[in-house]
Chain A
């Protein structure tokens, strides 16, 4: 994995990313470079800036300093491509995101949730979009729920639909922000196994998670965020299984129970 990664060019990068809310500096210069097929896990205490960081990667938050680059091109703070810069709209077509609280569209069926992006944003013909959506729904084990409304689904099912919705855009990168944190414990497994399947198929992912065993298992690289900086980064072996940094030791031991 590492040898392969070194040879390829990064698909998405963050260079010296800063983000402040008023006087409160949340991100203090973060760097990240993701190669195709790489899975990075972000761990760290609550409030350390994990969500803010991952949300900067698709410009859901506009960084106050530094740059985001996608396919070696700088991303601007405008919706459409302009000059040599990539627009936010273009970036988001290729960089999917899955949220902690699913955020499914409650007024649309499961199938419509998944086809919405392709039809509205990519102008894919409805029939084609629906066929592809049904494929994705069977991949996440929910084909028979295609006509249901989100309210009638369990949390685990909602999150799997949300993943299918993101995948329908055929993203090159997937950002996942604590996607199992809102789930009942018995429903976590079904969502993690879908993500594991994506990793095996070579999906590039940045995953914010508190599931240490899962992170160790699926991630090629683990970053430990603490107070707005990347305090530690390395293989899962180094960061999760044999942490050196005392704050990291404390954090990891708490989450491994």
Chain B
């Protein structure tokens, strides 16, 4: 093959790539932040004895776990505004969807951790007079969170990759910027290769760190 690689003309737009990368990072951490809050609330609702809360949380989780993220993004950006009769900013729609999506998974991860803790732990806490809340905070949660940390990190790494989908509603993330650079240079091979390389550059250290943490946790058990 005699393809003439020309990274130079593509890399002239490095500021676009870096800005796009920055936006991807912002959406990743932003949605992780809101997702954790949503996840905790949903998990609490799932574990509560209040039937209505239970059902609502369940329905929310199933909707977001059983539709593709791409479909959710399109729905929130194009359909949801008609439902509420007001337009919705694509950045808001992107962040909202990503957060709700990952929150549904986090809720399941947290819940799994909590119910996996031996019943005897709750009983021992109760037996020394702890309230259910004290027992949850001091005895159950610390053990549960440690146990689910690897799954939590794993889900968060996947979330970084998922953010690339917001480009379909024109949020200027890394994937979107690669398309912009391609439009300027007509060099798809270089544009998209740079994009892929930047994703790898970001994610490789994260997956390595995740493996390392998982190993550490297993040893300390």
Chain A residues close to B by CB (< 8 Å): 58, 60, 79, 89-90, 92-93, 96-97, 99, 101, 103-107, 116-117, 120-122, 151, 162, 165-166, 168-169
Contact = CB atoms under 8 A, between A and B. Distances in A.
Given A116-B128, A165-B128, A121 B134 contact: yes
A58 B127 CA distance: 8
Interface string B115-144: 000101101111111111010001100110
Contact of B123 (A99, A117, A122): A99
Contact of B120 (A101, A116, A151): A101
B215 interface: no
Q: How large is the interface on B (under 10, 10 to 19, 20 to 34, 35 or more residues)?
A: 20 to 34
A121 B124 contact: no
B126 A60 contact: yes
Of B127, B134, B138, the most chain A CB neighbours within 10 A belong to: B127
A121 B146 CA distance: 24
B72 to A, nearest CB: 37
B131 A79 contact: yes
B137 to A, nearest CB: 9
Contacts of B143: 106-107
B120 A103 contact: yes
Contact of B127 (A96, A107, A120): A96
Contact of B129 (A104, A121, A151): A121
A94 to B, nearest CB: 8
A116 B143 CA distance: 15
Given A103-B118, A116-B138, A121-B134, A60 B127 contact: yes
9 contacts: A60-B126, A79-B132, A92-B127, A105-B125, A107-B143, A117-B130, A121-B128, A169-B128, A169-B129
Of B124, B126, B128, the most chain A CB neighbours within 10 A belong to: B128
Interface of B: 118, 120-121, 123-132, 134, 138-139, 142-143, 146, 221
Given A79-B132, A93-B129, A99-B120, 4 more contacts: A92-B128, A97-B127, A105-B124, A166-B127
Contacts of B124: 99, 103-105, 162, 165
A104 B128 CA distance: 12
A101 B143 CA distance: 18
A93 B125 CA distance: 11
Contacts of B128: 92-93, 96, 116-117, 121, 165-166, 168-169
Contacts of B129: 89-90, 92-93, 117, 121-122, 169
A60 B138 contact: no
Interface of chain B, helix or strand or loop or mixed? helix
Nearest to A168: B128
A168 to B, nearest CB: 8
A93 B127 CA distance: 8
Closest 9 CB pairs of A and B: A117-B128, A103-B124, A103-B120, A93-B129, A97-B127, A121-B129, A92-B129, A107-B142, A107-B143
A107 B143 CA distance: 7
A40 to B, nearest CB: 19
Nearest to B221: A151
Contacts of A105: 121, 124-125, 139
B123 A120 contact: no
A122 B128 CA distance: 10
A111 B129 CA distance: 18
Contacts of B121: 103, 105
Contact of B130 (A101, A103, A121): A121
Nearest to A118: B128
Given A105-B139, A107-B146, A120 B120 contact: no
Contacts of A97: 127
Nearest to B127: A97
B130 to A, nearest CB: 6
Contacts of A99: 120, 123-124, 127
Contacts of A93: 128-129
Contacts of A58: 127
A79 B118 CA distance: 22
A257 B40 CA distance: 54
Contacts of B118: 103
A117 B128 CA distance: 6
A120 B135 CA distance: 10
B126 A120 contact: no
A119 to B, nearest CB: 10
